[in-house]
Amino acid sequence: MKITNIKDVDKFFKIVDECKGKVELVTAEGDRLNLKSKLSQYVSFSKIFSDLTISEMEIIAYEPEDLNKLISFLMNG
């Protein structure tokens, strides 16, 4: 799932932390990084955070309930 314009990065990571299954970020090179890992969160986004908005990224959630949580966050903020 491609998502865009995440303005509340802290809340996004809180939702990811609440997910029961794997949530991965797909890099431009096709690598998959585990977003539930704090180290991966830091490394993945350290260069993107210049304005604290993530413009676009692709994530994969393996559990349907996790996908619903992420979709709810995207729709309701």
pLDDT at 24: 93
Nearest one of 27, 25, 26 to 16, comparing CA atoms: 25
What is the extent of the structural domain holding 64?
A: 2-76
Q: Is the pLDDT of residue 10 over 80?
A: yes
CATH of the domain at 55: 3.30.1340
| Number of compact structural domains in the chain | 1
pTM, two decimals, is: 0.76
Phi and psi at residue 76, in whole multiples of 5°?
Answer: -110, -15
pLDDT at 8: 81
pLDDT at 61: 95
* pLDDT, tens digit, 9 for 90 and up, residues 21-57: 999 988 777 888 899 998 888 776 665 555 555 556 7
Distance in angstroms (rounded) separating the CA atoms of residues 28 and 69: 24
* pLDDT, tens digit, 9 for 90 and up, residues 59-73: 999 999 999 999 999
